[in-house]
Chains A and B, each alone.
Chain A
Amino acid sequence: MADVEPIVGRYLRMSLGGRPHRVYFEEAGGGLPLVCLHTAGADGRQFRHLLNDAEVTRHFRVIAFDMPWHGKSLPPPGWQDEEYALTTRGYVDLVLSFCAALGLDRPVVLGCSIGGKIVLELARLHATTFRALIGLESADYQAPWYDDTGWLHRPDVHGGEIAGALMSGLIAPQSPSETRWDTLWMYMQGGPGVFKGDLVFYRADGDFRDRVGEIDTTRCPLYLLTGEYDFSCTPEDTERTAAKIKGARVTVMKEIGHFPMSEHPAQFRRYILPVLEDIRARG
């Protein structure tokens, strides 16, 4: 019998910013919807281990989409003359529109890095839309570790090679070789300028230091989990953010870097399963 995984991939046609888009998503399981947001310059394959985890999918309908311009989601028509840049408003609209288009009832959203950051804005502005919010490698602000994102998109430096080489440092040394290199391969495959465009949100537009204090976790629980080896969004960045949000729950994950679900799935599930269990217990 063929060794076929339970993950199913489909395309969703939806309008974003008044323009037609075709968004690829994968899903597995049944129960509470759990929408997963990938990191900058990557795609939904980062969640393939979560999508294949029977402990998760027997209680959750796990859904991971590729953002427009990423993975199997094409850029919108006319992209060839544009410089891609992710904005806070555009990202919030993307998540809300995707969940509405699929008719998801109070989904849980789990996002990592840029996905972890947008979770903070979802918590602030749309708390009642969601059952719970989970931010991985999430902070209201994180100091940059290189000044010039121009290195990511120029003709004399290969964009895929440099993205992979930069991101390699954000993976914990304990992460297994296979999943380390899976994670880097996704970075090496990004379209020109897309990673750089995502970082506009991560570094500039998504500076939420002046507003995370407005988050009300009594309306929607907020979990923040950060890997000890992440020097992009450090555990201190997450703890400083959580200190401004009454009721936010912080976990520092040992032997994990910036890509928990992708770089070291076995270690990550030790931390995420209790969170998902907690969310289920709340009903």
Chain B
Amino acid sequence: MIAAVLDRLADLVNADAALVRRGRHLSTTFLVETGATAWLVTVHEGRVTRLERGPFLLRAFSFAVRASEDAWQRFWAPVPAAGWHDLFAMTKGGHARVEGDLRPLMANLRYVKEVLAKPRRSA
């Protein structure tokens, strides 16, 4: 289920011209962890150019967003419940972790949050 959602992430993002434009100053690779599975998302000027499924050995990334499969499912619910409706609601509640070099995340926060929430509409 989660794998199917994340497999579509590149198409969902790249089909959204406004979202790609919003991320035009971001080129990086970040890690998304869904329970036991990790994904590397490579962004070039707002387009997701590569989506790789782990496991990974000695791979570099700028920042990581980690949550359980259950947490992501709640986050992507069409109308998420309070506490599961925002990435930082989940980090405050201990349901997600954000780690690594946060500068590219914070400088492009709206873009990254909207990329991560992108599966919600099509959930």
Beyond A151-B106, A172-B85, list 5 extra A-B contacts (CB 8 Å). Answer: A145-B92, A156-B103, A156-B107, A157-B103, A166-B88
B69 proximal to A (CB < 8 A): no
Please give, as numbers and ranges, the residues of chain B lying within 8 Å of A151 by CB-CB distance: 102, 106
Does chain A have a CB within 8 A of B21? no
Evaluate contact between A165 and B85: CB separation under 8 angstroms.
no
| Contacting pair A162 B92 (CB below 8 A) | no
Q: Taking the nearest CB of chain B, how far is it from the CB of A233, in angstroms?
A: 12
Among B79, B106, B107, contact of A173 (Cβ-Cβ < 8 Å): B79
Given A145-B91, A173-B79, A231-B92, answer yes or no on A161-B110 (Cβ-Cβ < 8 Å): yes
Binding site for A on B (CB under 8 A): 79-80, 82-83, 85-89, 91-93, 102-103, 106-107, 109-110, 113
CB pair B106–A157 under 8 Å, yes or no, is: yes
| A residues in contact (CB < 8 Å) with B | 143, 145-146, 151, 156-158, 161-162, 164-166, 168-170, 172-174, 228-229, 231
Chain B nearest CB, measured from A31 CB (Å): 35
Chain A residues whose CB sits within 8 angstroms of the CB of B87 once the complex forms: 169
- Interface SS majority for chain B: helix
Please give the distance in Å from B62's CB to the nearest CB on chain A: 14
CA distance A166 to B92 in the complex (A): 13
CA distance A170 to B83 in the complex (A): 10
Min CB gap A182→B, angstroms: 16
19 contacts between A and B (CB under 8 A): A145-B89, A145-B92, A146-B88, A156-B107, A157-B106, A161-B107, A161-B110, A162-B106, A162-B107, A162-B109, A164-B110, A165-B109, A168-B113, A169-B87, A169-B89, A172-B82, A173-B79, A173-B85, A229-B82
Task: For the complex, give the distance between the alpha carbons of A156 and B108 in Å.
Answer: 11
Considering the complex, give the chain A residue whose CB is closest to the CB of B87: A169
Q: Evaluate contact between A169 and B110: CB separation under 8 angstroms.
A: no
Q: Assess whether A231 is in contact with B109, with CB atoms less than 8 Å apart.
A: no
- B88 CB contacts on chain A under 8 angstroms: 145-146, 166, 169, 231
Which A residues touch B91, using CB under 8 A?
Answer: 145
Question: What residues on A are CB-neighbors of B110 within 8 Å?
Answer: 161, 164-165, 168
Which single residue of chain A is at the shortest CB-CB distance from B86? A169
User: Complex Cα distance A170/B86, Å?
Assistant: 8
- The docked-state distance in angstroms from the alpha carbon of A162 to that of B88 is 13
Give the complex CA separation of A161 and B24 in angstroms: 14
User: Contact at A231–B103, with CB atoms within 8 Å?
Assistant: no
